[in-house]
A = this chain, B = another copy of it.
Amino acid sequence: MDAVVSSLLEGDHRALSRLISLMERGDPQVGPAMERLFPHTGSAYCIGITGPPGVGKSSLVNALVQLERGDGRQVGVVAVDPSSPFSGGALLGDRVRMERHYLDPGVFIRSIATRGTEGGVPRVIKGVVRLLDAAAKDVVLVETVGVGQTELDVMQVADTVVVVLVPELGDAVQALKAGLMEIADIYVVNKGDLGGTDRMVNAIESMLHTGPARGWTPPVLVTQAMNETGIQELKGAIQAHRNHLEQSQHLEAQRQRRHAAEFLAIVEEELGRRTREMALRDPDIRAALGAVQDGQAEPYSAAMRVLRDPSLGSRLFAQSDIG
């Protein structure tokens, strides 16, 4: 493992792949490795790209990668792929997604499936971004389909969050409902050659005025990612947001706050898991479960009854230790 850690610090992509796979499986070797890598992190800038399906997020990521590579910077791309229930794997592979950059040694690309990942996708993505940071990537792009709580949690990893929409008002309403508007640092109206673009830009801007003031007013940009129009401006807006975070000392504060939240989430999740395991072995809980299964008891009230029992805690932890 020491050799893998050393190779990763030199930017070796095979070492990166290896550690990411171990992290996905929840391998116990990852903890000590992360500890060794931690002092070498903190210099990568993480950009989140999210929005409803079909708005052109992958094309935008492609175009941004191209610009960053033109400046000679090392780039990491992490794509969160909702998995097919039938295939069990990612529907869109790395290759299809990023064809253009797949052979560039200055770009590391990885898809993370949202199913079958040990310990939750957001936890793994945060770890993967930290690994890319330690492997001396200058910029890490994280792409998610912004449709659920998991994807919102993933976006907590990004220093700057770009929410991508297209010129359809219904799209903005859906984004609003999905909580995307809450996390946006920059808005992009992609496919800006379609009709209704101005109306869409105005709609977003007027929505911004109804939200809480945050010291940074998210700009609303128009792009056509397919022919690389507006990408330079997007890169500029990301840089402006970065400058804002750095000058206001928000960047460090935001990262530390998120590290604390990440630590607590892992501890809480694991303690919850252990407690649930013990509950499944408890005789009283098993008896109540049996009554519910036989149609003799109502699930909600049966659960409340079991949980009200004052001896539950001492019983659960009498013989097994949670540690």
Residues of A within 8 A of B (CB): 28, 30-32, 34-35, 37-38, 52-54, 81-86, 91, 123, 126-127, 130, 145, 147-150, 170, 173-174, 176-179, 181-182, 207, 210-211, 252, 256-257, 259-260, 262-264, 266-268, 270-276, 279-280, 285, 288-289, 292-295, 297-317, 320-323
Contact = CB atoms under 8 A, between A and B. Distances in A.
Number of identical monomers bound together in the oligomeric complex? 2
A245 B303 CA distance: 28
B299 A263 contact: yes
B299 A323 contact: no
B307 A314 contact: no
Contact of A306 (B85, B267, B312, B320): B267
Given A275-B275, A321-B313, A182 B85 contact: yes
Nearest to A124: B300
A86 B176 contact: yes
Contact of A304 (B28, B176, B178, B276): B28
A323 to B, nearest CB: 3
Given A52-B53, A126-B300, A262-B299, 18 more contacts: A31-B304, A35-B301, A82-B177, A82-B178, A82-B179, A85-B179, A147-B148, A256-B295, A259-B292, A260-B299, A263-B288, A264-B280, A274-B313, A309-B323, A312-B322, A313-B321, A313-B323, A314-B317
Contact of A178 (B28, B147, B263, B313): B147
B35 A298 contact: yes
13 contacts: A35-B301, A84-B176, A85-B176, A126-B299, A148-B150, A149-B150, A256-B293, A263-B300, A267-B279, A270-B307, A271-B275, A272-B273, A310-B321
Given A34-B300, A149-B149, A289-B263, A91 B322 contact: no
Contact of A301 (B31, B54, B179): B31
Contacts of A210: 86
B271 A276 contact: yes
Among A38, A280, A322, the one with the most B-chain Cβ atoms within 10 Å of its Cβ is A322
A53 B293 contact: no
A126 B177 CA distance: 22
Contact of A170 (B53, B257, B260): B53
A322 B317 contact: yes
Contacts of A179: 82, 85
Nearest to A285: B267
Contacts of A257: 293
Nearest to A178: B82
Nearest to A310: B323
A50 to B, nearest CB: 13
